[in-house]
């Protein structure tokens, strides 16, 4: 199982060399686009035109400019028309290229986009990612990539197909594209603190936004608008937010954990069915443990960070910890153009253009599954093992645990609103 970040630093000179030698058209093998004498453009399509989707499209355009390539937005799609039109206005996209509704992703998948950006709430990601890979698209997809174990496994499987097809897959776990994290991970991998034995990871922050249901509003529309309140849409905040730190732990340790045991609770929320806090012990085997903590409550002490203790020193995710590094490791100068959220698109496009695509599907699926494993343990009060989520032959109920409404329910119009202001009770769930 690969946990390596195989991004590469590609200078503009390397890029131009690669593009000249092979031409963009031959490199965008699945797109059929033509790049002649600088007249060709990378065609982009976006599914999910919210805050991050609209931002990610801009990040991708900036990354292409940095690499000296032109882009063209060939499709925008959002569940809500007004969201699509807002992005259309921002990027000057004509109305005939704009789509809305629960199955609007199909318009982008069927368009001539070379690269699709999947930035809806995460419950839709497996359905959209499978369709994109099937259609031969290169993909940027935001984290997390699923809300339940079957969903995370669908991403793993589609990621394998993407690899077979030579498609690029880059995820919004942007710390893997952030120079300071890459340098620290490089030092840890090269023995700066010996072997990681323990650690603590935190996303303890204020509450996020929430929406209340409008009179007469359908269950589906309400759940899409208020998606950060429902486990069925977001995976709960351990999955939706804290998976960034969980991903760093998996990356630095080099594999996902073997088991999770945790707890959590709901204290202040009014809508939806999520918890407000989680505390989870992740057991990585061989006596290596990571304590994960996340909380979304106002007026408390905040910390968003990672800390690892090795046999010979300690580190934060971003550099030496209080005990320092036992060995002075010289890390390379990793590129970070305009921050990690642009750099991840530089790495996506550079990989496509130089014929050496990046495929982060496995890493992001595993980190999503790790967060889901912690959530299941907290909701149920049980010890949950990685193998129970991955190996059907063990017959664990967690293996097939599917939350509903599913993405398909939204497409088929069969959404039933889960009960609100109620949360799982451990020992009974
Ligand atoms: N990497 C990061 O740092 C980062 C930061 C913010 C958000 N995110 C992730 O990005 C994703 C989106 O978050 P956001 O903040 O943009 O949320 P948002 O609510 O602002 O936007 C989500 C958009 O998706 C649309 N949508 C919902 N269902 C859809 C469907 N089936 N088809 C098409 N469109 C649909 C919504 O109408 C909305 O416009 C989430 O997975 C979130 O975790 C990542």
- Relative to the CA of 83, which ligand 1 atom is closest? 39
Confidence tier at 323 by pLDDT (50, 70, 90): confident
User: How high is the pLDDT of residue 342?
Assistant: 98
Residue from 45, 46, 47, 48 to probe ligand 1 pocket by mutation (most atoms less than 8 Å from CB): 48
Alpha carbon 428 to its chain's center: 31
Confidence tier at 169 by pLDDT (50, 70, 90): very high
Q: Which of 288, 295, 290, 265 is nearest to 280 (CA)?
A: 290
Residue from 80, 87, 102, 119 to probe ligand 1 pocket by mutation (most atoms less than 8 Å from CB): 119
Task: Take residue 185 and report the two structure tokens written for it.
Answer: 């991970």
Cα(54)–Cα(394) distance, integer angstroms:
42
- C-alpha 183 to ligand 1 mean position (Å): 30
- C-alpha 118 to ligand 1 mean position (Å): 9
Residue from 51, 176, 228 to probe ligand 1 pocket by mutation (most atoms less than 8 Å from CB): 51
Cα(104)–Cα(108) distance, integer angstroms:
7
Give a three-class secondary structure readout of the chain.
Answer: CCCCCCCCCCCHHHHHHHHHHHCHHHHCCCCCCCCCCCCCEEEEEEECCCHHHHHHHHHHHHHHHHCCCEEEEEEEEECCHHHHHHHHHHHCCCHHHEEECCCCHHHHHCCCCCEEEECCCHHHHHHHHHHHHHCCCEEEECCCCCCCHHHHHHHHHHHHHHHHHCCCEEECCHHHHCHHHHHHHHHHHCCECECEEEEEEEEEECCCCCCCCCCCCCHHHHHHHCHHHCHHHHCCHHHHCCHHHHHHHHHHHCCCCCEEEEEEECCCCCCCCCCCEEEEEEECCCCCEEEEEEEECCCCCCEEEEEEEECCEEEECCEEEEEEECCCCCCCCCCCCCCHHHHHHHHHHHHHHCCCCCECHHHHHHHHHHHHHHHHHHHHCCCEEHHHHHCHHHCCCCCCCCCCCCHHHHHHCCCCCCCCCCCCCCCCC
Confidence tier at 428 by pLDDT (50, 70, 90): confident
User: How high is the pLDDT of residue 40?
Assistant: 79
pLDDT of 37 above 60: no
pLDDT of 121 above 60: yes
Ligand 1 surroundings by CB, under 6 angstroms: 47-53, 77-80, 83, 102, 104-105, 119-122, 124, 142-143, 172, 174, 224, 240, 410
List Cα–Cα distances, 249 to 147, 176, 188, 364, 393, in angstroms. 20, 11, 12, 12, 28
Cα(175)–Cα(318) distance, integer angstroms:
10
User: How high is the pLDDT of residue 5?
Assistant: 37
Residue from 50, 210, 234 to probe ligand 1 pocket by mutation (most atoms less than 8 Å from CB): 50
Q: Which of 363, 169, 384, 372 is nearest to 252 (CA)?
A: 363
Task: Take residue 6 and report the two structure tokens written for it.
Answer: 């195989």
- Relative to the CA of 410, which ligand 1 atom is closest? 31
Query: If you average pLDDT over every residue of the chain, what do you get?
Result: 92
User: How high is the pLDDT of residue 3?
Assistant: 35
Q: Which of 58, 315, 262 is nearest to 76 (CA)?
A: 58
Confidence tier at 209 by pLDDT (50, 70, 90): very high
Per the model's pLDDT, the better-predicted residue between 282 and 6 turns out to be 282
What are phi and psi for residue 148, nearest 5 degrees?
-150, 165
Alpha carbon 302 to its chain's center: 23
pLDDT of 23 above 90: no
pLDDT of 409 above 60: yes
**What is the arithmetic mean of pLDDT over 174-186?**
98
User: How high is the pLDDT of residue 429?
Assistant: 55
Structural domains for the chain: 12-176+338-359 (3.40.50.720), 180-334+367-412 (3.30.360.10)
- C-alpha 52 to ligand 1 mean position (Å): 6
How far apart are the two ends of the chain, measured CA to CA in Å?
32
- Relative to the CA of 80, which ligand 1 atom is closest? 37
Cα(278)–Cα(243) distance, integer angstroms:
12
Cα(427)–Cα(404) distance, integer angstroms:
21
Q: If you take atom 40 of ligand 1, which residue's CA is the nearest one?
A: 121
250: left (phi over 0), alpha (psi -120 to 50) or beta: alpha
Q: If you take atom 22 of ligand 1, which residue's CA is the nearest one?
A: 50
Confidence tier at 29 by pLDDT (50, 70, 90): very low
Cα(232)–Cα(402) distance, integer angstroms:
9
């Amino acid at each position: 199982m690969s946990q390596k970040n195989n991004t590469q630093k590609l200078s503009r000179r390397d890029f131009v060399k690669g593009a000249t030698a092979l031409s963009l058209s031959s490199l965008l093998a699945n797109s059929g686009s033509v790049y002649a004498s600088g007249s060709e453009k990378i065609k982009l399509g976006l599914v999910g035109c919210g805050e991050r989707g609209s931002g990610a499209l801009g990040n991708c355009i900036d990354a292409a400019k940095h690499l000296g390539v032109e882009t063209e937005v060939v499709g925008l799609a959002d569940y809500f028309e007004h969201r699509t039109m807002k992005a259309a206005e921002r990027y000057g996209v004509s109305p005939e290229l704009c789509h809305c509704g629960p199955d609007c992703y199909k318009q982008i998948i069927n368009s001539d986009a070379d690269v699709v950006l999947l930035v809806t709430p995460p419950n839709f990601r497996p359905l959209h990612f499978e369709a994109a890979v099937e259609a031969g698209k290169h993909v940027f997809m935001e984290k997390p990539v699923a809300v339940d174990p079957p969903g995370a496994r669908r991403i793993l499987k589609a990621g394998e197909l993407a690899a077979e097809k030579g498609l690029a897959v880059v995820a919004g776990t942007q710390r893997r594209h952030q120079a300071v994290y890459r340098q620290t991970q490089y030092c840890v991998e090269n023995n700066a603190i010996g072997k990681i034995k323990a650690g603590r990871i935190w996303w303890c922050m204020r509450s996020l936004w929430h929406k209340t249901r409008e009179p007469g509003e359908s269950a589906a529309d309400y759940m899409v608008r208020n998606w950060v309140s429902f486990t069925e849409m977001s995976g709960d905040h351990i999955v939706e937010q804290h998976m960034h730190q969980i991903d760093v732990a998996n990356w630095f340790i080099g594999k996902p954990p073997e088991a999770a045991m945790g707890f959590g609770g709901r204290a202040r929320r009014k809508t939806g069915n999520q918890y407000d806090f989680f505390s989870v012990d992740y057991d990585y085997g061989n006596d290596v443990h990571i304590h994960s903590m996340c909380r979304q409550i106002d007026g408390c002490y905040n910390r968003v960070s990672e800390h690892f203790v090795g046999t010979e020193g300690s580190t934060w995710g971003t550099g030496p910890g209080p005990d320092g590094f036992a060995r002075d490791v010289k890390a390379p100068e990793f590129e970070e153009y305009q921050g990690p959220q642009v750099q991840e698109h530089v790495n996506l496009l550079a990989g496509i253009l130089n014929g050496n695509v990046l495929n982060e599907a496995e890493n992001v699926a595993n980190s999503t599954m790790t967060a889901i494993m912690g959530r299941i343990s907290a909701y149920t009060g049980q010890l949950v093992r990685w193998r129970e989520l991955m190996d059907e032959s063990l017959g664990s109920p967690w293996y097939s645990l599917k939350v509903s409404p599913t993405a398909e329910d939204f497409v088929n119009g069969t959404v039933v609103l889960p009960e609100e202001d109620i949360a799982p009770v451990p020992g009974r769930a």
